A and B are shown apart, each in its own frame.
Chain A
């Protein structure tokens, strides 16, 4: 009967129910979009690090992110690393911003990534046209399909100028987005060095692959001792550092998280307001229940059930709209991400939000004097 009464109370005033559901819906959509953007951004920021085949990253000292390494490491550091016990392989990687001059005029910026596929360090992971072998060609470059317009090219075979040399698009990827909005452009290690005009032994990162059974922490410590002008980071540490740089030092992540918190607060206030006014409208019924001998807990259950039902209905509606927005953002340069974990936490947040909202109504009914049943 608790759920029956709660549901009937909700359905009794359809306008108020609609306001409640719209409040929850907007809140869920806002939080889902903000957190979806946060997850999407995080994925973009860490994608290249996460996909690299490395146990440890050697970066120039103080490198803040994947795009901010400089090209300062040399064969000296590489050999020092190779000489460290427990290290099996050290793969150089060049990463730098470069100017991309469009064939039709004008320019934009790309993040040029130079790595050799045969080194198994980092390769573009979602080729939809062309192969890794195609990227080995002297002038070859691979870019993501999403950015073709921005780069002023149509597809495979088109040429452009990157920094100091000409390149031809030989492969296309799908879904490798850049948080900086400067598209990633993949080429070979030496071609990247030539385009950027740096020496043959220079690199931005050294990807360290450990020998089987080697202790990661110990090797990391040994490498750090040997390479005093470099940072030695695990993948996770480098991912965290990149996330901190782009999401928190720039304020973007705080804005997204702030938006999510604001969305929750707005939803909570709207639901609290409507639940409170619903409780006020049904106060004589709650007083009757009390006069009939119901415990306070029973009445609290009715109010919490109203809040819970509102949460479930609002969540379903909100998630439906959030999924539509998510689908619409699929091919954009900043796609939203929804994971089962996020969907679960959003549901938990909705329930929590509605439970908190029910507090003012619960306080109201707690003060009910059952004697008011005789006053009607």
Chain B
């Protein structure tokens, strides 16, 4: 089944700084995200992957190129309009979780709904529901300081999916986690993509995550240098072997 892309980026360029300090962080990147897929954006440090993620997440504006989300052209929108696009279509997961230390797990999820105008009982029950989905039904009233790194990241995942966004963007979601928690979070992201039919894009340089990817996009020096896709019928853990015989596309 071919899904139409929910996000389409075409020839994205991003220049940072000016004059002698000008750096071209992203050099003509094009990318589609389709529902039901977990895509990994992999590359070495400084390759421009987080900058590209920021642009795809409507946090940063590209210098040139076009970005469409749910068929809406994004370039040229004001900061407030971009915030609305994020509210309506995108859920974020951050490397350092970025939870509010003064709010408990339930409230951390509720606030993501609150900024979207979902309030009261509807917000509370939805927050409980997603926290149960990520296996934290017993930690609703725990504060981030009392949660392990893996639990905190799962709260962040719950927060990202609470508003049922069509796109979930994750920045190094396993970087601060041990192996067991890293696998648990990746498994969760994979399930979100498959079972909830969302587009999940994770920026990572963690090889442990490869086994969960439907697609791996390689970026080096601001350019997308390759893309590989898991063949039909191969279960998630086996894809790690594919890395040894990956097919790079120019």
Contacts and interface: CB of A to CB of B under 8 A. Distances in A.
Contact of B115 (A294, A370, A374): A294
A371 B100 contact: no
Given A292-B115, A293-B83, A293-B116, A374 B102 contact: no
Which of B79, B107, B115 has the most A CB atoms < 10 Å from its CB?
B115
A283 to B, nearest CB: 12
Interface stretch (B87-95, B189-197, B231-239): B87-95
Nearest to B113: A1
Contact of A374 (B54, B100, B123): B54
B185 to A, nearest CB: 18
Nearest to B100: A285
Contacts of B86: 291-293
A284 interface: yes
Contacts of A11: 102
B59 interface: yes
Interface string A268-301: 0000000000000000110011111111101000
Nearest to A366: B79
A293 B102 contact: no
Contacts of B60: 371
A299 to B, nearest CB: 9
Interface residues of A, number: 25
A5 B102 contact: yes
A8 interface: yes
Contacts of B85: 293
Contacts, number: 81
B111 A291 contact: no
A4 interface: yes
A374 B101 CA distance: 18
Contacts of A370: 59
Nearest to A294: B115
Nearest to A13: B102
Contact of B87 (A9, A293, A373): A293
B52 to A, nearest CB: 11
State the main secondary structure of chain A at its contact with B. helix
Which of B102, B112, B116 has the most A CB atoms < 10 Å from its CB?
B102
A293 B79 CA distance: 10
A11 B102 CA distance: 9
B84 A293 contact: yes
Nearest to B114: A1
Interface residues of B, number: 35
A81 B212 CA distance: 105
Nearest to A11: B102
Nearest to B111: A1
Contact of A292 (B80, B92, B102, B119): B92
Given A8-B102, A289-B115, A295-B83, A376 B110 contact: no
Contact of A5 (B80, B83, B87, B103): B103
A374 B80 contact: no
B116 A374 contact: no
Nearest to B88: A293
A12 interface: yes
B227 interface: no
A158 to B, nearest CB: 67
A371 to B, nearest CB: 5
B110 A1 contact: yes
A291 B102 contact: no
A47 interface: no
A4 B110 CA distance: 11
A288 B103 contact: no
Which of B103, B119, B123 has the most A CB atoms < 10 Å from its CB?
B103
A364 B107 CA distance: 25
B141 interface: no
B108 to A, nearest CB: 10
A4 B101 CA distance: 13
Given A288-B98, A291-B86, A376-B94, A4 B103 contact: yes
B96 interface: yes
B214 to A, nearest CB: 24
B111 A5 contact: yes
B166 to A, nearest CB: 13
Contacts of A291: 57, 59, 86, 92, 94, 98
Which of A2, A285, A293, A296 has the most B CB atoms < 10 Å from its CB?
A293
26 contacts: A1-B107, A1-B110, A1-B111, A1-B114, A1-B123, A5-B100, A5-B102, A5-B111, A8-B103, A285-B100, A289-B111, A289-B115, A291-B57, A291-B92, A292-B87, A292-B92, A292-B115, A293-B84, A293-B86, A293-B87, A293-B88, A294-B83, A295-B80, A296-B79, A296-B80, A374-B171
List 10 tightest A-B contacts by C-beta distance, closest first: A293-B87, A8-B102, A293-B86, A294-B115, A1-B114, A288-B98, A376-B96, A370-B59, A12-B102, A1-B111
Given A293-B85, A293-B88, 7 more contacts: A1-B114, A289-B111, A291-B59, A294-B83, A298-B115, A371-B59, A374-B95
Interface of B: 50, 53-54, 57, 59-60, 79-80, 83-88, 90, 92, 94-96, 98, 100-103, 107, 110-112, 114-116, 119, 123, 159, 171
